[in-house]
């Protein structure tokens, strides 16, 4: 399979197995096969993803449960449509092939039997500003999700660490990877995996 894409365009290609692969905002030619992922993600793992936006070193924040290379996973994030924020929760067959993801920070393993319950729990987090995180953005919503998941035991932020430490770790990882000085896939040092 070959994919040609330019910034601001989305392209959909079909794999030999009939799976659609969406690639957004690529700036170069990429040759991909099911055996040639850009990111080597662990199966059944919850990731915090930071992806490129139009502004340098400003990232789009999302959560992604990676099921497997063959089956992709499930992305949850918020996006702004005119004056309103909406939750975008969908199956994502292409995260391992997405060139715009600059940091995939592993947060926890997700047992297959609990995957749907975790997705539903994340959907319950309100799309509103909070006292701790401030105004609503994709970043502050993800941080609030992590705070609530930690409080309920879905993830385990280490004693002595905070969600703010996870935030800084993701930002630092994205900046290093974008500058060519770091790996794009990391395991959080502040969360017990």
189: number of CA atoms within 13 Å, CB side? Answer: 6
Domain total in the chain: 1
Residue 142 lies in a domain: yes
Residue 156 lies in a domain: yes
90's CB contacts (< 8 A; 6+ apart) are 74, 75
Mean pLDDT throughout 97-107? Answer: 95
Q: How far apart are the first and last CA of the chain?
A: 35
Q: Is the per-residue pLDDT at 10 higher than 90? A: no
Residue 5 lies in a domain: no
Domain range spanning residue 174?
38-187
Per-residue pLDDT reduced to its tens digit, 47-56: 999 999 887 7
Mean pLDDT estimate for the chain: 85
Per-residue pLDDT reduced to its tens digit, 59-83: 999 999 999 999 999 999 999 998 8
H/E stretch holding 168:
helix 163-178
pLDDT reported for residue 2: 32
Residue 145 lies in a domain: yes
What is Dmax (Cα atoms) for the chain? Answer: 49
Listed range (5-14, 34-43, 121-130, 179-188) with the worst mean pLDDT? 5-14
pLDDT reported for residue 11: 36
Q: Is the per-residue pLDDT at 9 higher than 70? A: no
Mean pLDDT throughout 108-131? Answer: 97
Q: How far are the Cα atoms of 134, 136, 138 from residue 56, in angstroms, in the given order?
A: 23, 21, 16
Residue 103 lies in a domain: yes
pLDDT reported for residue 6: 29
H/E stretch holding 142:
helix 138-152
Mean pLDDT throughout 172-179? Answer: 95
Per-residue pLDDT reduced to its tens digit, 148-158: 999 999 999 99
pLDDT reported for residue 35: 64
Other CB atoms within 10 A of residue 135 CB: 8
Token digits for 130? Answer: 């909070």
Mean pLDDT throughout 136-147? Answer: 98
Q: Is the per-residue pLDDT at 179 higher than 70? A: yes
pLDDT reported for residue 153: 98
Helix (H, G, I), strand (E, B) or coil at 98: coil
Residue 139 lies in a domain: yes
Residue 62 lies in a domain: yes
Of 77, 74, 70, the C-alpha closest to 46 is 74
Report d(CA 21, CA 15) in Å as an integer: 7
Residue 7 lies in a domain: no
Name the one residue in this structure whose structure tokens are 């940091």.
103
Q: Is the per-residue pLDDT at 20 higher than 50? A: no
């Amino acid at each position: 399979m070959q994919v040609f894409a330019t910034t601001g365009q989305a392209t959909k290609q079909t794999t030999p197995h009939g799976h659609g692969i969406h690639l957004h905002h690529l700036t170069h030619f990429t040759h991909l096969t099911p055996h040639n992922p850009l990111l080597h993600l662990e199966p059944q793992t919850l990731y915090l993803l930071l992806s490129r936006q139009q502004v340098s070193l400003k990232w789009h924040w999302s959560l992604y449960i990676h099921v497997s290379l063959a089956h992709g996973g499930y992305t949850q994030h918020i996006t702004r449509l005119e004056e309103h924020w909406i939750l975008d929760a969908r199956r994502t067959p292409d995260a391992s092939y997405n060139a715009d993801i600059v940091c995939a920070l592993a947060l926890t393993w997700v047992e297959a039997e609990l995957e749907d319950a975790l997705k539903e729990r994340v959907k319950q987090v309100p799309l509103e500003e909070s006292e701790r995180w401030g105004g609503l953005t994709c970043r502050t919503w993800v941080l609030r999700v992590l705070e609530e998941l930690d409080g309920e035991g879905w993830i385990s932020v280490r004693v002595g660490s905070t969600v703010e430490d996870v935030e800084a770790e993701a930002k630092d990882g994205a900046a290093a990877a974008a500058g060519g000085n770091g790996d794009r896939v990391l395991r959080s040092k502040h969360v017990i995996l």
